[in-house]
Amino acid sequence: MDRARISSLLAPFADVSDRQLNKISTYIDILIRWNARTNLTSVRNPDEMVTRHFGESLFAARHLLAPDSQVTVIDVGSGAGFPGLPLKIWAPAIRLTLIESQHKKATFLREAVRAITLIDVNVFSGRAEEFPSRADLVTLRAVERFDQIAPVAARLVSPGGCLALLIGSGQVRRAHELLPQLGWSGAVPMPQAQERALLTGTYRASNESAL
């Protein structure tokens, strides 16, 4: 996909470098090719892929990570790699785990990681409940069974770490109800999407028994 077009579409969400644009362009090309034969995402229009998937993910990255961050990150239910891989493109030194239980999607994730030459990325092809480690930052985006998976994602957050939810605005209240033990920040509306928000909660060490 044309890099100038990508840059223009991403402008409301984040400023990206030439290096990042190159990786995003390659990623989109792979996603379009795989999506033609495997249902990775219901979004088929390339421009909409940029704004809906990359834009939202990079908007979250800009709020969650400095470009030189070196924290550990787990992306739960990564699907086609969002927001996890754009977070890695934004902050290359993070140590990222993508959790995806569907075999075809996990295979795609490994191919995408190889094609855009990312390092320190682990694809865990299993259920989040089975993952044995925790991370400084755990992300969760647009998944089904929100009530069931949100507490699982919270248990993967290290003491003092952060849970970041990319969710519908109507789910913000439900997140507070499901996880009252987290210290929640105010929801940040997504650009160009009035019904989408970034919600972050801090997991305090004193809350370990509650989780």
Mean pLDDT by 10-residue block, N- to C-terminus, for the chain (211 residues)? Answer: 94 96 96 92 92 96 97 97 98 98 96 97 97 98 88 96 96 96 96 91 65 46
CA-to-CA separations, 92 to 13, 20, 63, 95, 155, in angstroms, rounded: 19, 10, 16, 8, 25
Report the alpha-carbon distance of residue 141 to residue 84 in Å, rounded. 10
What total of structural domains would you count in the chain? Answer: 1
- Find out whether 32 and 106 touch, Cβ atoms under 8 Å: no
| Residue-level pLDDT at 129 | 96
Residue range(s) defining the domain that contains residue 24: 3-207
Q: Give the number of other Cβ atoms within 10 Å of residue 117's Cβ.
A: 9
* CA-based end-to-end distance of the chain: 43
CA-to-CA separations, 111 to 26, 57, 68, 159, in angstroms, rounded: 11, 19, 25, 32
| Residue-level pLDDT at 174 | 95
Report the alpha-carbon distance of residue 193 to residue 197 in Å, rounded. 8
Beta carbons within 8 Å of 1's beta carbon, 6+ residues apart: 25, 28, 29, 32, 46, 50
Identity (one letter) of the amino acid at 135?
A: A
Place of tokens 């929640």: 184
CATH number at residue 98: 3.40.50.150
| Residue-level pLDDT at 133 | 97
| Residue-level pLDDT at 210 | 44
0.75 exceeded by the pTM?
A: yes
| Residue-level pLDDT at 144 | 79
